[in-house]
Amino acid sequence: MKQELEALHRESLERRLRTHVSIPESPGYVMCGERVLLDLSSNDYLGLARHPAIIEAMRDALLKEGAGAGASRLVTGNRQPYAQLEKALATWQNCDAALVFANGYTANIGVISALVGRGDVVFSDQLNHASIVDGIILSRAEHARYRHNDIEHLRALLYKFRDKRRKLIVTDTVFSMDGDQAHLLDLIALKQEFNALLMVDEAHSGGVYGPRGEGLASALGVKNDVDIHMGTLSKSFGIYGAYVCGSETLIKWLMNKARPLIYSTALPPSLIAGAIQALKLVQTEHWRRKRLLAASEFFRSSLCKAGFNIGNGDSAIVPLMLGHNHKALQFSSALENEGIAAIAIRPPTVPEGTARIRFSLSAAHSLEELTDAITKICRLGLQLGVVE
Ligand code: PMP
């Protein structure tokens, strides 16, 4: 282990935990050591993580329900706020039923391994989140990986595996490290043609797109064509947890078959109470979405004009492509010296040779703060020879 860790260090691939402290009076900032940093790395897209109404709901539930749920949901851990949250989630998504999971990671591994097994096949975009990949491995179904957003490649694989028992297509709707969108309309056409199921992971689009933040499938008017709709409560909702929405049968199936739900203690009721409040805000405080989308557009176009390679996305996730691991670390550390927390993302999180800084924007930030950050990023880009 020591030798391998040293090798990781030499290749600028070692990861380490650093402590970031939140600042109650300054949402959108964190402290690291002595420094106050503009947080351009968190997924608190709507700036809800410090919302007083959410914190109050959590505090009230903490006092009423206690610290922990004490058992799994199928035992005695299914405390009062769960039913209310799941009903509200199902109404929001206009579907039969919803089920809360401990987090997005366990939702994905739980759902995929409950739905497919030996003799089945999962078609998965090459850039899907690691939790989807792990869910497929755990399921023991065939893993048919298609090139990123390459619909013709997917079609060829669907044809090749057309005789498999159950076929599941799964995709991030907004890709977590590139910030671009899945081609949902094409995926739906293929799912119908090949009689497959479609699962979408709206981790980075839930709260952000759609008239009431329902997600990308809703914004594109294709929500009813999606069979399994998964999203997280840890990003736009500002808290922790995840949800899966779909038919009554799907949700009953998952209650009976999804192992992370069955064999793990329920989330503390206070988190669930906070999520109920966050869902109300997600649906009603439209200005947060508008502000986030305006900030994303401004940030993206400014970096693009300055000559940076920021990929093809159009979401609140903006990758600044640097290639070498060392360059990404160097850029990140230079940004930190300038008061910006922007983390370097390296393999295996992203493919070899595509290390980058992943900026993620938030409604917590003002245009003035972003303008200042852009000026600093451009100056460093010139100094480090990233742009000319
Ligand atoms: N899916 C996607 C696309 C993600 O980006 C993430 C988290 N980064 C997850 C799932 C996992 O969610 P969680 O952090 O709630 O475990």
Q: How confident is the model at residue 38 (pLDDT cuts 50, 70, 90)?
A: very high
Q: How confident is the model at residue 129 (pLDDT cuts 50, 70, 90)?
A: very high
Summarize the confidence of residues 129-154 as an average pLDDT.
98
Q: Could you tell me which residues are beta bridge partners of residue 231?
A: 243
Helices (H), 265-324: 269-284, 286-305
Structure confidence at residue 320 (pLDDT): 98
Ligand 1 center–CA 382 separation, angstroms: 33
Summarize the confidence of residues 280-307 as an average pLDDT.
97
Asked if domains 11-46+286-383 and 52-284 share a fold, the reply is no
Structure confidence at residue 328 (pLDDT): 97
Question: DSSP letters along 35-93, please?
Answer: EEEEE-S---TTS-TT-HHHHHHHHHHHHHH-S---SBIIIII--HHHHHHHHHHHHHT
Instruction: Determine if ligand 1 sits within 6 Å of the CB of residue 42.
Output: no
Percent of the chain with pLDDT over 70: 100
User: How would you class 308 by CB atoms within 10 Å of its CB: exposed for 0-12, middle for 13-18, buried for 19 or more?
Assistant: buried
Contact 92, 279 (CB under 8 A): yes
Averaged pLDDT score across all residues of the chain:
97
Summarize the confidence of residues 250-257 as an average pLDDT.
98
Ligand 1 center–CA 234 separation, angstroms: 8
Instruction: Tell me the per-residue pLDDT of 216-234, one tens digit each, with 9 for 90 and over.
Output: 999 999 999 999 999 999 9
Instruction: Tell me the per-residue pLDDT of 41-63, one tens digit each, with 9 for 90 and over.
Output: 999 999 999 999 999 999 999 99
Summarize the confidence of residues 25-36 as an average pLDDT.
94
Q: Which are the contacts of 278, defined by CB distance < 8 A and separation ≥ 6? A: 48, 51, 54, 233, 237, 238, 239
Atom of ligand 1 lying closest to residue 105 CA: 16
Structure confidence at residue 74 (pLDDT): 97
Instruction: Determine if ligand 1 sits within 6 Å of the CB of residue 184.
Output: no
Which CATH architecture is the domain 11-46+286-383 placed in?
Answer: Alpha-Beta Complex (3.90)
Summarize the confidence of residues 175-200 as an average pLDDT.
98
Q: Tell me yes or no: is domain 52-284 CATH 3.40.640.10.
A: yes
Instruction: Determine if ligand 1 sits within 6 Å of the CB of residue 360.
Output: no
Instruction: Determine if ligand 1 sits within 6 Å of the CB of residue 349.
Output: no
Going by C-alpha positions, the residue among 199, 181, 174 that lies closest to residue 120 is 199
Contact 272, 100 (CB under 8 A): yes
> Tokens standing for 95?
């579907």
Residue count of the chain = 388
Q: What positions carry a catalytic annotation? A: 176, 204, 235
Q: How confident is the model at residue 37 (pLDDT cuts 50, 70, 90)?
A: very high
Q: What residue's CA is closest to ligand 1, atom 11?
A: 104
So what's the ipTM on this one? Answer: 0.99
CA 51, 57, 60, 62 dihedral sign is negative
Instruction: Tell me the per-residue pLDDT of 347-386, one tens digit each, with 9 for 90 and over.
Output: 999 999 999 999 999 999 999 999 999 999 999 999 999 9
Q: How confident is the model at residue 142 (pLDDT cuts 50, 70, 90)?
A: very high
Structure confidence at residue 350 (pLDDT): 96
Please tell me the distance from the alpha carbon of residue 276 to that of residue 82, in angstroms, as a whole number: 9
Please tell me the distance from the alpha carbon of residue 270 to that of residue 81, in angstroms, as a whole number: 8
Ligand 1 center–CA 207 separation, angstroms: 14
CA 292 to chain centroid, in Å, comes to: 16
Structure confidence at residue 143 (pLDDT): 98
Structure confidence at residue 367 (pLDDT): 95
CA 373 to chain centroid, in Å, comes to: 24
Structure confidence at residue 279 (pLDDT): 98
Q: How confident is the model at residue 32 (pLDDT cuts 50, 70, 90)?
A: very high
Structure confidence at residue 120 (pLDDT): 98
Structure confidence at residue 108 (pLDDT): 98
Count of other CB atoms within 10 angstroms of residue 372: 15
Report pTM. 0.97
Instruction: Tell me the per-residue pLDDT of 313-339, one tens digit each, with 9 for 90 and over.
Output: 999 999 999 999 999 999 999 999 999
Task: Break the chain into its structural domains and give their ranges.
Answer: 11-46+286-383, 52-284
Ligand 1 center–CA 105 separation, angstroms: 6
Q: How confident is the model at residue 126 (pLDDT cuts 50, 70, 90)?
A: very high
Instruction: Tell me the per-residue pLDDT of 255-283, one tens digit each, with 9 for 90 and over.
Output: 999 999 999 999 999 999 999 999 999 99
Instruction: Tell me the per-residue pLDDT of 332-347, one tens digit each, with 9 for 90 and over.
Output: 999 999 999 999 999 9
Instruction: Determine if ligand 1 sits within 6 Å of the CB of residue 101.
Output: no
